Chain A
Amino acid sequence: GQNIDQPTEMTATEGAIVQINCTYQTSGFNGLFWYQQHAGEAPTFLSYNVLDGLEEKGRFSSFLSRSKGYSYLLLKELQMKDSASYLCAVRDQDYGQNFVFGPGTRLSVLP
């Protein structure tokens, strides 16, 4: 089966750094994606990892360890607009190359 776990909620201060963890169990791993979803809006793509290591994209970085079934999203220099839910998703080739989504981590950035 497939299972993705993320913390339900996190709180951080404006200007700080926050790390959102994701652990997964899938049979046919074929890439890990992070999406950002503001309340009442559609998810938007943030990052993609398929090989082990760190991918950096501006203030956001994402890390993957396939052997540990683990990823994290690192947000630096937090801004108020970063308050949103962050969804970890794994594409599974044993699931028709479709995405399995985690429950999302709701991040609140405080002034």
Chain B
Amino acid sequence: EADIYQTPRYLVIGTGKKITLECSQTMGHDKMYWYQQDPGMELHLIHYSYGVNSTEKGDLSSESTVSRIRTEHFPLTLESARPSHTSQYLCASSEGTSGEEKLFFGSGTQLSVL
């Protein structure tokens, strides 16, 4: 049902590296999101977008950036990775923001910063 893809699935990198997590969806959804989730903890909103050329900050946005040049693509960039960035990153999309407009999630990127 859900066609939303994240790459890489796993990533291990050193401190200070710049990384980009990729997310693409083929459902034509306008709204897209990035969440961070630590084991056993709630999802925290990092960034979201209402559509092309729209990007908004969530609760944990200060150390990352996003872009939305095409409807289907919503990459997340960490300019300088730190061990505190070690976490699971989940990309999601939704058709809208009303009614039963549920989130569709990608499989996630598990990031480890050494």
Interface residue range, chain B: 20 to 34
Stretch at the interface among A10-18, A43-51, A66-74: A43-51
Q: Does B77 sit at the interface, judged by CB under 8 A?
A: no
Please tell me if the beta carbons of B33 and A103 are within 8 angstroms of each other in the complex: no
Please tell me if the beta carbons of A33 and B102 are within 8 angstroms of each other in the complex: yes
Please tell me if the beta carbons of B42 and A103 are within 8 angstroms of each other in the complex: yes
Please tell me if the beta carbons of B43 and A101 are within 8 angstroms of each other in the complex: yes
**Given known A42-B90, A48-B102, A104-B40, contact A98–B107 (CB-CB < 8 A):** no
Min CB–CB distance A3 → chain B (angstroms): 11
Main SS class of interface, A:
strand
B40 interface neighbour in A50, A96, A97, A106, Cβ under 8 Å: A106
Q: Does B74 sit at the interface, judged by CB under 8 A?
A: no
**Given known A96-B56, A98-B33, A98-B58, contact A44–B42 (CB-CB < 8 A):** no
CA separation between A106 and B41, bound complex, in Å?
11
**Given known A48-B100, A97-B97, A98-B58, contact A42–B107 (CB-CB < 8 A):** yes
Min CB–CB distance B111 → chain A (angstroms): 14
Please tell me if the beta carbons of B107 and A103 are within 8 angstroms of each other in the complex: no
| CB-contacts of B49-66 with A (<8 A) | 56, 58
Min CB–CB distance A47 → chain B (angstroms): 9
Min CB–CB distance B62 → chain A (angstroms): 17
Taking CB atoms, residues of chain A closer than 8 Å to B108 are 41-42
Chain A, Cβ-Cβ closest to B110: A40
Interface residues of A, Cβ cutoff 8 Å to B: 4, 8, 30-31, 33, 35, 41-45, 48, 50, 87, 89, 91, 96-99, 101-104, 106
Beyond contacts A33-B102, A98-B58, A103-B41: 8 other A-B pairs, Cβ-Cβ < 8 A, are A8-B40, A42-B105, A42-B107, A43-B103, A48-B100, A96-B56, A97-B97, A104-B42
Interface residues of B, Cβ cutoff 8 Å to A: 2, 33, 35, 40-45, 48, 56, 58, 90, 97-100, 102-108
The 8 A-B residue pairs with the shortest CB-CB distance, nearest first, are: A42-B105, A97-B97, A45-B102, A101-B43, A101-B42, A48-B100, A103-B42, A43-B105
